[in-house]
């Protein structure tokens, strides 16, 4: 009688499985603790900034003609008569329950205003970063692959313009040429006035909401209004992404493994896009994430020039009206966006580079 060796794989050790489960749980717990501490730090910064700025939140509510008794009553009602640490505890509790206070400018809760204005900024910044990535990455790779050529020089000049030209000036020039003169794009605002209010907001992003409602005419009208401000934002994003991509690629193209691949006769396209480009995907995530977050919080001038009803325009109006609840709420949202994008980048690191695990 002959016995053949068993081909059944041994069962994993219960102790090993338990250690892996504990390690995963510890990773998730550490991630949540880090996220909570970061958000708490953001709350502390926004709170204390709101207390040290030379703006009296009570006076902005009651007005400069209020009597002393009215001023004192409003101060007590707003909880500003309490010690600073108690005010901070109250502030954190309110934020965690979704209460960011009342806006003096609009008379509505700040959280309601942000839910209306932030999707407009998100829509414009998302299209802008798509333009920046789809054009900036290939331009950066091309500039590195043809270092010193006239193509490289042109791409570097374009990148320099993206760092040098003021955003508001480029926006005004774009409106003067492509809207006022050529009539290729729509003017300021998100829609022509006769389309305003015809689509019920679902996501707050007019392109998506118009498609959901089946309003194709409104969709294309929104595209004509969105394309110019998004292109201006995309240009600045493109300049940054192309410059960093070029820098990363030059470093990789000088590595020995790239030289070896070329010596072996590997096609240049494969050398560039597989051997040299693959290692830079991880640092590019950081570049794209920071650029995207910058578009979300740095679109104040663009939104002002194009009368875009986004969070940047809302924040500017709040500052001019000394509306501290709206200012702090907007700042908190922008900070939370940075935290969220950084955490998404961390997750993508682990997906693209298993060594990060």
Q: Which of 108, 4, 62 is nearest to 318 (CA)?
A: 108
Handedness of CA 206, 133, 139, 287 (dihedral sign): positive
Token code pair at residue 277: 């480009």
Per residue in 166-217, pLDDT (tens digit) is 888 888 999 999 998 988 988 888 888 888 888 888 888 989 999 998 889 9
pLDDT at 290: 84
Q: Are residues 144 and 60 in the same domain?
A: no
Left (φ > 0), alpha (ψ -120 to 50) or beta: where does 8 sit?
A: beta
pLDDT at 73: 83
pLDDT at 7: 52
Per residue in 49-88, pLDDT (tens digit) is 777 766 677 776 777 777 778 777 877 877 777 888 888 8
Q: Are residues 59 and 91 in the same domain?
A: yes
pTM for this entry: 0.80
Token code pair at residue 224: 């004509």
The CATH number covering residue 297 comes to 1.10.3720.10
Residue 5: phi, psi to the nearest 5?
-65, 145
Q: Are residues 89 and 176 in the same domain?
A: no
pLDDT at 27: 67
Question: Considering the domain boundaries, does residue 2 fall inside one?
Answer: no
Q: Are residues 190 and 86 in the same domain?
A: no
Q: Are residues 66 and 163 in the same domain?
A: no
Q: Are residues 64 and 178 in the same domain?
A: no
Distance CA 71, CA 2 (A): 98
Query: Would you say 311 and 121 are in contact if contact means Cβ atoms under 8 Å apart?
Result: yes
Domain that holds residue 290: 117-356
pLDDT at 224: 93
- The CB density around residue 191, as the number of other CB atoms within 10 Å, is 19
Question: Considering the domain boundaries, does residue 267 fall inside one?
Answer: yes
| pLDDT < 50 positions in the chain | 1-3
Question: Considering the domain boundaries, does residue 334 fall inside one?
Answer: yes
- Say how many domains are in the chain: 2
Q: Are residues 175 and 61 in the same domain?
A: no
pLDDT at 270: 86
Q: Are residues 127 and 91 in the same domain?
A: no
Question: Considering the domain boundaries, does residue 104 fall inside one?
Answer: no
Q: Are residues 294 and 159 in the same domain?
A: yes
Distance CA 36, CA 57 (A): 28
Q: Are residues 297 and 342 in the same domain?
A: yes
Q: Are residues 243 and 277 in the same domain?
A: yes
Q: Are residues 220 and 186 in the same domain?
A: yes
pLDDT at 133: 93
pLDDT at 54: 65
């Amino acid at each position: 009688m002959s016995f053949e060796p068993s081909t059944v794989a041994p069962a994993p050790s219960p102790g090993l499985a338990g250690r892996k489960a504990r390690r995963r749980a510890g990773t998730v717990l550490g991630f949540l603790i880090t996220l909570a501490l970061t958000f708490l730090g953001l709350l502390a910064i926004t709170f204390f900034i709101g207390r040290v700025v030379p703006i009296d939140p009570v006076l902005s509510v009651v007005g400069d003609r209020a009597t002393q008794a009215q001023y004192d009553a409003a101060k007590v009602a707003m909880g500003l008569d309490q010690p600073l640490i108690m005010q901070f505890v109250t502030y954190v509790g309110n934020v965690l329950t979704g209460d960011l206070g009342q806006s003096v400018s609009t008379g509505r809760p700040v959280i309601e205003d942000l839910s209306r204005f932030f999707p407009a900024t998100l829509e414009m910044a998302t299209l802008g970063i798509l333009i920046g990535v789809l054009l900036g990455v290939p331009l950066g790779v091309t500039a590195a692959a043809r270092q010193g050529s006239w193509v490289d020089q042109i791409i570097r000049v374009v990148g320099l313009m993206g760092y040098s030209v003021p955003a508001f000036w480029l926006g005004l020039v774009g409106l003067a040429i492509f809207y006022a003169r050529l009539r290729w794009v729509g003017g300021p605002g998100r829609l022509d006035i006769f389309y305003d209010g015809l689509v019920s907001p679902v996501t707050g992003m007019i392109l998506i909401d118009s498609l959901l409602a089946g309003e194709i005419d409104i969709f294309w009208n929104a595209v004509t209004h969105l394309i110019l401000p998004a292109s201006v934002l995309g240009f600045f994003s493109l300049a940054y992404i192309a410059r960093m991509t070029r820098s990363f690629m030059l470093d990789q193209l000088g590595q020995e493994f790239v030289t070896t691949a070329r010596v072996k006769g590997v096609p240049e396209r494969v050398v560039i896009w597989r051997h040299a480009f693959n290692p830079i995907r991880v640092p590019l995530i950081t570049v794209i994430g920071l650029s995207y977050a910058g578009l979300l919080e740095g679109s104040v001038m663009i939104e002002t020039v194009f009368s875009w009803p986004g969070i940047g325009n809302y924040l500017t109006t709040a500052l001019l009206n000394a509306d501290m609840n709206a200012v702090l709420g907007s700042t908190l949202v922008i900070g939370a966006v940075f935290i969220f994008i950084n955490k998404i980048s961390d997750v993508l690191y682990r997906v693209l580079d298993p060594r990060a695990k």
